[in-house]
Amino acid sequence: MDIVKRVGALVAALVLLLLGGLVLVIAGGLATKAGGDGWTAPDRPADAVVTGHVQTRSGGGPAGARWAPRVTYEAEGRRYTARLRGSEAGRGLRVGAPVEVVYRADRPGRPYTRQYAEQGAPGVATDIVVIVSAVVMAVALLTFGWLLLTVARGTRTTVLDL
């Protein structure tokens, strides 16, 4: 029975060590890209008209459904109809209301409110939280894998032995 327990601990330890190493590599890859998404502020203005509303989140729960205005405008010589992105500023617009939108030259089909464009690049707080969480998870996997490896070697009888 002792050999079955040790082989099982060895297999589990190897799997956990492999997963921990993989998560650590992924965290390292995320860390190199944190905050470096090359965000460019939308800077080309266009006059748009609200033509309807698009549901961006389904109802249910205390927050309920969320709606965003759909606007029609001309950009780069073409007519576009798209959901207005950005802050809550555009949420109260009625159909037929004129609104100034801004877009990026490389993506004219994605309009934003001017208020959103003036906020600047998004922060890196979410990136940092994800990276720290991945590192914590990797350390937990590696630690438990190491403890199981000591059980497999016979140094400990269980992972709880000190």
What value does the mean pLDDT take over residues 121-131?
78
Decide if pLDDT at 29 tops 70.
Answer: yes
41 contacts: CB under 8 Å, gap ≥ 6? 104, 117, 120, 121
Closest CA to 107 of 161, 8, 39, 162: 39
Buried b (16+ CB within 10 A) or exposed e, 107-133: ebebbbbbebbeeeeeeeeebeeebee
Contact indicator for 84, 101 with CB cutoff of 8 Å: yes
pLDDT reported for residue 91: 66
Rounded Cα gap, residues 139 and 122, in angstroms: 29
pLDDT reported for residue 64: 67
pLDDT reported for residue 35: 67
Q: Where are the domains of the chain?
A: 2-36+124-153, 44-118
Decide if pLDDT at 107 tops 90.
Answer: no
Contact indicator for 85, 111 with CB cutoff of 8 Å: yes
Q: What's the token pair of residue 161?
A: 């032995």
What value does the mean pLDDT take over residues 96-112?
90
pLDDT in tens, 44-87: 999 999 998 887 777 666 666 777 889 999 988 899 999 988 75
Helix, strand, coil in percent for the chain, rounding step 5: 45, 30, 30
pLDDT reported for residue 22: 94
Rounded Cα gap, residues 108 and 78, in angstroms: 9
Rounded Cα gap, residues 19 and 137, in angstroms: 10
Contact indicator for 109, 82 with CB cutoff of 8 Å: yes
Half-sphere exposure of 53 (CA within 13 A, CB side): 14
